[in-house]
Each structure stands twice: as C-alpha cells, then as structure tokens.
Amino acid sequence: MEQKSIIIAGAGIAGLSAGCYGQMNGYRTQIFERHDKPGGLCTSWKRKGYTIDGCLHWLVGSGPGANFHRIWEELGAVQGRPMIDHEEFLRVEGKGGKVFIVYSDIDRLEQHMKELAPQDAQVIEELTRAARTCAKYDLPVDKAPELYGALDGTWLLIRMLPFLKVMSRWKKISVQEYATRFGDPFLREALPRVSGLPDFPMAGLLMILAWMDRKSAGYPLGGSLEFSRSIERRYLDLGGTIHYRVPVAQVMVERDKAVGVRLADGTEHRSDITISAADGHATIFDMLGGRYINRRIRGYYDNLPIFPPLIHVALGVHRSFEKMPATVIYSLDEPVTIGGREQDHFGVEIGNFDPTLAPPGKTVLKVMFTADYAYWKNLWQDPERYQAEKESIADHVVSLLEQRYPGLAGQVEMRDVATPMTWERYTGNWQGSMEGWLISKKTLPPFRMSRTLPGLQSFYLAGQWVEPGGGVPPAAMSGRNVMQIICKRDHRPFVTKTP
C-alpha cells in the first residue's frame, strides 16, 4: 500500500499521540517542535537539585479499569509506571480553621460533609448520589465522535442513559450557584474553591469526584516530563522522527490543499497530510494567515472563555512535610494583591508524595494563582520590572507560607516563578493559557469543535484547542481521533498496537 507522509506541528501530548497512531497505521510521519523537548505543557524542569512539575496533578485513565487506560498503554505511557491515588483530592481550610476534606472515596466524603453540616444532609446526599452514578460509567474513547453512526449513538444512549441524564441536569448549574444551596456558610465558601474557576459546571466537578472514587485519576510517579518522554520513546520506537528547535512558521497551501510546512528558518518540508497539534490561534491566524475560517470559528476566539494563565511559584524546601496532604487551599483573612490581582485564598501543593522530585528530607511546594495576561505582557516589555515582580511574588508566597508553616522561610533553598509569559514563550499557547478552552456550561458536550478548517483540504487540528476542557487525556485522544478520521478517509482500517 502507498505510504502517505504526514507532518505534525508540535510534540505536545496531542502531536506525539497523532504521530504514534500515524506510525501504527502505516503512515510516514515526522514532528516539528519549536522547543528542545517533548510534552509541551505536560512538562517539568530542574532547579538546584529539585524537579518542578509543571503539569500533572491527576491523570484520567491512570487505573487499569478505566477505558482511557488502554490509550495510555497503546502510547507506552503507563507500563511500569506506579500511580499514586491520593486519599484526599484536596482540602480547603476556612478562615476560622474549619477544614473541608474532599476525600477521593465518595462514601467518606459524604460522611465528612454531613459531619461538617448536618443541616445540609439532603443537598449532600443529592450531590454524592449524582457522583456515584457518574462513577458507574466510563466515557467511551474507542471511536472518534465524527465517525459515530446512528447505531453508535443509539447504543451509547441506551448504555449510558443514567449518566447522560445526570450530565444534562448538572451541566446547567455552576459550582458557585450550587454552593448557595448549602445552609452551612463554610461549605458555601469552600465548595467553589475546589474547582477554583468561574462558571465551572457541577457536571465537571461530579466527573472529578467519580474519577477519584474509581482510582482513575492518579498521579504518575516521576512527573510530567518523564510521562511525556515515555510517549516520545514510543513514537521513536514506532519509527517516527522528531525535529526539535524548529518552529513552524507557515502551513504551505496550494490550491486550498495543505502541502507541508515552512519553518522559521525558511526551509520547506512537504507532506501529503498536515496536522497542527500546536496552539490553535497561532495555527489559524498566523500559520494560515486567517484565510480558512468562518464565523463560527471566529466566534470561538471572540467569545469563548479560556483557562486563565497562571503564576506558578515553586519552592524547594529543606523540610519533609510528613503526613501532609497533597493539596491544601487556605482562605486569607485579608486579601492580598499578587501580580496585579486581588487574591482571597491560595492553594499549596506539597510534592512529597513523589520522592523523585526532591532529595530525601526535602520537598517541592507549589503555589499557583490565576493571572492577568495583559498585565504580564506589559510587564514583559521591561525586563527589570518583570524580574522584580517575580521576586516580589516569591517573597510574598514565602511569607504567606511562613504563617502556616513556621520556620519555612529559613528552609527555602530554591525559588522559581513562572508567569503567563513563561508558558507563552515555551509552548506558544494563546495568552499563556494553561489548558485551552475553559470547561463551562457552553462548552460541555454535545458542543464539539471541528478538527478541520473550512475550505482547506488535507489539514487537521489536534490538541486542547479543539477539545474544550483540555487536559492531557483529551489531548492524547484528539491525536488518536484525528488519525482515525484520516484512516477512514483513506479507506484503511484503524489499527492500534500495545507494546
């Protein structure tokens, strides 16, 4: 059979996944990546003997029972990799010292919430009942939604009806709105802290609780870059080629057909099919000059909210933080201004559950705040002010943590501050977004984005900018789905292999 060539822009999880499935299906693929390593947002970096993990807190499909686990196996990402299932997803500490623990086990969560707020038993039971229903179902991942026939749709409806009913009811209400149903003022304040995002739908929170309960959203030991590297290895083992430090500047088009890419260094590389797994905005408006777009796609970029970019502060601390949970969110008595934004709480991730991240007896702590892209873009023009702001934020975070963990200030050995500009520079993501389109009432299924552009042949989009809600699993699935669609158009059976 003729071996078609595919060029993929971007070696994030979506690009690597598209490459792996392309190789499995007999295509000759090569990936062009602007950075010097794989993974894109799914990455980690080293400072002074500490490893700062910039991504995975939880990985859907981590447990062997989950549908998604099969995809991770096909991509060689989970074999031999221990997963850590935290007993607590996170805990929220209120102003008066009250603590709301989001236990991974739904029964335990229900019991704990009832102890905190016996008067809210009915609301709590309604919430945990819905989460238990979700935990009985797993999202189908085998087939790209575009390839669903009428029978698939009916079968899905019959098989997943109770789940779909829960989703359609709970997607209409945000976590903030739902929290007002609690009579207990602490739970009213604490529940929205769990999602931490405006307009985050309850359906999303239920899914998180369900995945945690099923032990299907664990943390992969070794962290994000190691995880990405395992998929890079799988791709290379399958015969793929990756070129690093080569930004794609343009998708070359002849008679409305993509014919390859032109790199920033001016070299041209031709292919039968081109996939962009790089940032969506840059692909559509820069690499393709905005020529292949319609009102719907423009509307996404004009109207849909995105996951806000982050200020990400990491500290290497000579302290073990024994018996501390993985994530604690603290409410502040007085709001503080960080990076031009008022913050009334902050969360700290305590990375001592992964011994590969720090030397024995030491721990990486991470504190993240949502940030204002325009503020950082402006500051970036002035390197001195930019640097000073980063230092001042690190000072601020150390002093906030010192209040919770006395003595910490003297134990800090490493400070690292990443800003929206860090993500923009290293991954090219639009406005430094951490995860693409925000999951919201508007963007939950059946809402779906097209993986092709109007009027452009032989071209596909993959990754978080065509999978609202983003995340590492949707990125991987997106690469797989695109290859399924390509195989279907080429009248080839889609095959997968597990190493």
CA distance 438 to 200: 8
Which of 281, 488 has the CB closer to ligand FAD? Answer: 281
Among 242, 365, 475, 482, binds ligand FAD (CB under 6 A): 475
Strands (E), 221-373: 241-243, 248-254, 257-263, 268-270, 273-276, 310-317, 327-338, 341-350, 363-370
Residue 290-329 contact track with ligand FAD, rule CB under 6 A, x = bound: --------------------x-x-----------------
Candidates 61, 94, 339, 471: give the one binding ligand FAD (CB under 6 A).
471
8 belongs to the binding site for ligand FAD (CB under 6 A): no
Give the end-to-end CA distance of the chain in Å, rounded to a whole number.
24
Amino acid symbol at 308: P
Helix (H) or strand (E) holding 20: helix 13-24
Closest CA to 358 of 321, 328, 316: 316
The smaller minimum CB distance to ligand FAD, of residues 353 and 402, is found at 353
CA distance 386 to 379: 5
Nearest to 349 by CA among 85, 60, 55, 82: 55
Pairwise CA distance, residues 21 & 482, whole Å: 9
Q: Which of 21, 27, 50, 58 binds ligand FAD (CB under 6 A)?
A: 58
User: Which listed residue (71, 116, 338, 434) binds ligand FAD by CB under 6 A?
Assistant: 434
Stretch that binds ligand FAD, among 66-74, 314-322, 328-336, 463-471 (CB under 6 A): 463-471
Residues that bind ligand FAD (rule: CB under 6 A) add up to a total of: 39
Candidate list 14, 71, 252, 350; residue touching ligand FAD; CB under 6 A: 14
Q: Choose between 10 and 240: whose C-beta lies nearer to ligand FAD.
A: 10
For ligand FAD, the binding residue among 248, 284, 364, 461 (CB under 6 A) is 248
Rank residues 25 and 427 by Cβ distance to ligand FAD and give the closer one. Answer: 427
Binding segment for ligand FAD (CB under 6 A), chosen from 10-18, 116-124, 168-176, 397-405, is 10-18
CB 406 to ligand FAD: min, Å:
28
- Strands of the sheet containing 327-338, edge to edge, are 99-103, 88-93, 327-338, 341-350, 363-370, 310-317, 412-418
Nearest to 376 by CA among 339, 409, 411: 339
Q: Does 12 bind ligand FAD (CB under 6 A)?
A: yes
Taking the C-alpha atoms of residue 68 and residue 407, their distance in angstroms, rounded to an integer, is 43
Q: Binder to ligand FAD among 44, 327, 464, 481 (CB under 6 A)?
A: 464
56 binds ligand FAD (CB under 6 A): yes
Based on CB atoms, which residue is closest to ligand FAD, 112 or 269?
Answer: 269
Stretch near ligand FAD under the rule CB under 6 A, chosen from 28-36, 128-136, 357-365, 384-392: 28-36
Instruction: Tell me how far apart the alpha carbons of residues 29 and 4 are, in angstroms, rounded to a whole number.
Output: 8
The residue within the footprint of ligand FAD, chosen from 428, 456, 461, 486 (CB under 6 A), is 428
Tell me if 247 contacts ligand FAD by CB under 6 A: yes
- Distance between CA 18 and CA 383 in Å, rounded? 38
Task: Figure out which of the listed residues 331, 429, 431, 484 binds ligand FAD, where binding follows CB under 6 A.
Answer: 429
Query: Which member of 6, 7, 24, 32 binds ligand FAD (CB under 6 A)?
Result: 32
> Which parts of 78-157 are beta strand (E)?
83-84, 88-93, 99-103
Pair 408, 414: CB distance under 8 Å: no
Among 83, 472, 477, 486, binds ligand FAD (CB under 6 A): 472
Q: How far apart are CA 402 and CA 398, in angstroms?
A: 6
Minimum distance from residue 187 beta carbon to ligand FAD (Å): 25
Q: Is 9 in the site for ligand FAD (CB under 6 A)?
A: yes
Binds ligand FAD by CB under 6 A, chosen from 22, 124, 435, 459 = 435
Please confirm whether the linkage preceding 446 is cis (ω < 30° from 0).
yes
d(CA 249, CA 408): 46
d(CA 324, CA 394): 22
As a residue count, the chain comes to 499
Pick the closer one to ligand FAD by CB: 23 or 327: 327
Cα–Cα distance measured from residue 68 to residue 66, given in angstroms and rounded to the nearest whole number: 5
Residue 470 in the binding site for ligand FAD (CB under 6 A): yes
Determine which residue in the list 61, 218, 463, 468 makes contact with ligand FAD, applying CB under 6 A: 463
Q: Does 35 bind ligand FAD (CB under 6 A)?
A: yes
Could you give the angle at the alpha carbon of 249 between the alpha carbons of 243 and 253, nearest 5°?
105
Minimum Å distance from CB 344 to ligand FAD?
21
Binding site for ligand FAD (CB under 6 A): 9-15, 32-35, 40-42, 54-58, 247-248, 277-279, 282, 310, 312, 427-429, 434-435, 463-464, 470-473, 475
